[in-house]
Structure 1
Amino acid sequence: MRLSTKAFIGAFSLALFAAPAAATEVIQFGVGLYQPDKDKNDATYTPLAQYLEKKLGKPVKLRTVSSWEGLAKSLANGETDVALMGPWGYVLANNEAKAQAVATIEYEGKPEYYGIMVTNPKSGIKSMADLKGKTFAFGDKGSTSGYLIPFHYFQKQGINPDTYFSKVINTSHQAIQTQVTQGAIDAGADYNRNRDAMIADGLIKAEDSKIIWTSDPLPNDAFAVSAKLFEDKVFVAKLQEALLGIGAELKNQPNLLPPRYTGFAKKDNSYYKPIRDAGLATGRLQPK
């Protein structure tokens, strides 16, 4: 079940009052559901958890959280100590629970990516005007490129998705690409890395997916630390050192990160200002 942003923030507030102390003896490492299912996701990120355990000198327990909203909330209620999470989920966690970014993941050497909107070339859709009355898919409401950024774009264009489209759904990024290429939905919001990876992996055909809109550059996923654990500056420095060392370590252990991810760059909360600004502009984020 997906929470509305208002319900999600309300749950956050309750979590803050009931939040137990962060577990620093065993580091709870939360990861979003980047892969099609939990088992594959766990298998993909277990090497990273094991690497961090070795570098930090403490047990690191990996836990996949099925939604960005859920992962952000878990940083507030103490279930998660550190997390690899989408930009919008991170901004929510920072705003509501003071979680702090300590690094940004790099994809093919870059700490940024792009939101996109896609359609099937056979749909005849070439512009926003052509989308009126069509079916449209957003991603999870905790997603940056799948929800926040395209919603912000529509807002600036004076478009209310609920009335502009004949039907609006929320689903996963992979499902959006698959359904668009199959013609099951007319268009949807995604991000360039997902589309490129699905084409490279043979999950969709490039000729069946057409980009009709591209966002400004967006900061990649954040590696965040709970507010409680962020107070331990020695730990934070050690964590950052471990993350920044992954790029060189990939030569010896290529499965530390999924394909095409090349390491981490040292970034802080200020790097996510464009996402925060979009959240404030849309009313999805309430200033504290």
Structure 2
Amino acid sequence: MITLHRRAALALLATASLCATPAAWAQDKVLRFGVGLYQPDKEKNDATYRPLAQHLAQQLGREVKLYTVDSWEGLAKSLAAGETDIALMGPWGYVLANHVAGAQAVATILYDQKPEYHAIMVTHPGSGIRSVADLKGKTFAFGDKGSTSGYLIPYHHFQKQGLEPERFLGKVIHTKHQAIELQVTRRELDAGADYNRNRDAMIAEGLIKAADSVVFWTSDPLPNDAVAVRAELARDAAFVAQLRAALASVGPALKTKPDLLPPRYNGFVAKDNAFYKPIRDAGLATGKLNTK
């Protein structure tokens, strides 16, 4: 897991973008499609998103090579470096890649027909935690530092309350979303940050019980995960239009090919960089995103 200081993380993104070889940036026949780790492991993640990659390949008339990147920071760096052509990624990772290397959002995924979701904080019923103020000295888990709901947005909320998490909380760890939910429900942690879609999915799959998980804070609506392309491809208007059309075709195709997306995901809607302004604003407000 990558848990770099914000300046180091941005420096690595910048270095990656500058050091990409011409071959990495050249448009070739194969499109490299990077996907964040939404499932418990890479094998399941690849199996889940392979049908989508195959559908895009058919629509675009090009080979699409799918691979999973196991941290949001890693996927942002890969996109910035030109090692990834198209990415399905968390909003904060996208904003980082856009800020440093000019990656551009072309679409947003739909969940329950909505292009937005919520960051949450969860605890277990016996913790006595009812608000952020009750977290003083408690054990708490953030997601990795490239995560929107697991790190940036809850961190921003702490700061808006005048609280520095590193001083206010007791033990702080960084881990994956599913691990946060599991450790909280097992009472190995007092609380943690997550997002509503992940919690809902884990309850539906029987991985955790709703009765063992208490949501005590919910964010304002946040833009869903982005489909983004590296900067060079973003300048190809014809390709962007073709990709948006391919993504728009996913929704109707789900009627006959339900495995194109995980349950409750309904397709994609065209969006651009402006849709991710709330994430950019939070990054700037926390100092996690440097002003240009």
Please indicate the TM-score interval, normalised by the length of the shorter structure. over 0.9
Q: Extract structure 1 runs of 4+ deviating beyond 2 A.
A: none
SS at match of 2:126: helix
Q: 1:150 is matched with which residue?
A: 154
Shift of residue 215 of structure 1? 0.3
Partner of 2:144: 140
Q: Distance in 2 between matches of 1:123 and 1:108?
A: 31
**Could you give the per-residue CA deviations for residues 71-122 of structure 1, whole angstroms, max 9, x where no partner exists?**
0111111110000000000000000010000000000100000000010011
Check the 8 A contact 1:139/1:172 in 2, yes or no: yes
The CA distance in 2 between the partners of 1:140 and 1:132, in whole Å, is 21
Letter in 2 for 1:153: H
Give the TM-score normalised by the residue count of structure 1. 0.98
Whether the 8 Å CA contact 1:24–1:229 is kept in 2: the answer is no
For residue 60 of structure 2, the aligned residue among 56, 60, 72 is: 56
Q: Deviations over 1:121-147 (max 9, x none)?
A: 111111222111110100111000000
C-alpha deviation, 1:196, in angstroms: 0.7
1:199-250 deviation line (CA, Å, top 9, x unaligned) = 1110000010001000000000000010011111111100000101110000
Residue by residue, what CA displacement relative to the aligned partner does 1:240-282 show, whole Å, maximum 9, x if unpaired? Answer: 0010111000001000011110000110000000000000000
Q: In the aligned structure 2, how far is the partner of 1:10 from the partner of 1:128?
A: 32
What SS does the aligned partner of 2:251 have?
helix
The residue matched to 1:78 in structure 2 has which SS?
Answer: coil
Deviation at 1:8, TM superposition (A): 1.3
After superposition, the C-alpha distances for 1:3-31 in whole angstroms (9 at most, x for unaligned) are: 22211111112112212324432100000
Distance in 2 between residues matched to 1:176 and 1:263, nearest whole Å: 27
Which residue number corresponds to residue 232 of structure 2? 228
Query: RMSD in angstroms over aligned alpha carbons?
Result: 0.9
Q: Which residue of 1 aligns with 2:101?
A: 97
Identity of aligned residues (%): 68
- What TM-score do the two structures reach when normalised by structure 2? 0.97
Q: Secondary structure at the match of 1:216?
A: coil
CA distance in 1: counterparts of 2:80 and 2:184, whole angstroms? 35
Deviation at 1:56, TM superposition (A): 0.5
Please tell me whether residue 112 in structure 1 is matched to residue 116 in structure 2: yes
1:150-194 Cα deviation digits (max 9, x unpaired): 000000111111111110000011011101111000000001111
| Secondary structure in 2 matching 1:123 | coil
**Contact 1:72–1:90 under 8 Å retained in 2:** yes
Residue 82 (structure 1) aligned with residue 83 (structure 2): no
User: Any conservation in 2 of the 1:138–1:147 contact (CA below 8 Å)?
Assistant: yes
1:19 has 2:20 as partner: yes
Return the alpha-carbon distance in structure 1 between the equivalents of residues 142 and 87 of structure 2.
Answer: 24
1:4 corresponds to 2:8: no
Separation (CA, whole Å) in 1 of partners of 2:8 and 2:260: 36
Query: What's the secondary structure of 1:39's corresponding residue?
Result: helix
Distance 1:247 1:165 in 2: 43
The residue that corresponds to 2:188 in the other structure is: 184
Distance 1:18 1:126 in 2: 48
**Aligned with residue 244 of structure 2, among 240, 247, 255:** 240
2:278 to 274, 284, 288: 274
Counterpart Cα distance in 1 of 2:209 and 2:17: 45
Distance 1:22 1:147, change over 3 A: farther
Partner Cα distance (1:182, 1:258) in 2: 26
Of 192, 199, 205 in structure 2, the residue corresponding to residue 201 of structure 1 is 205
Q: Name the aligned partner's letter for residue 131 of structure 2.
A: S
What CA distance in whole angstroms lies between the structure 2 residues aligned with 1:221 and 1:4? 23
Task: Count the aligned residue pairs.
Answer: 288
1:12 touches 1:73 (CA, 8 Å); kept in 2?
A: yes
Question: Is 1:45 aligned to 2:86, yes or no?
Answer: no
- One-letter code of the match for 1:66? D
Q: Write the distance in 1 (CA, Å) between the matches of 2:52 and 2:291.
A: 34
Distance in 1 (alpha carbons) for counterparts of 2:273 and 2:184: 35
| Distance across 1 between alignment mates of 2:6 and 2:271 | 26
Q: Within 1, Cα distance between the matches of 2:132 and 2:34?
A: 37
CA distance in 1: counterparts of 2:28 and 2:224, whole angstroms? 26
CA contact (8 A) 1:27 1:82 kept: yes
SS of alignment partner, residue 116 of structure 1: strand
Q: Confirm or deny: 8 A CA contact 1:16 1:77 kept in the other structure.
A: yes
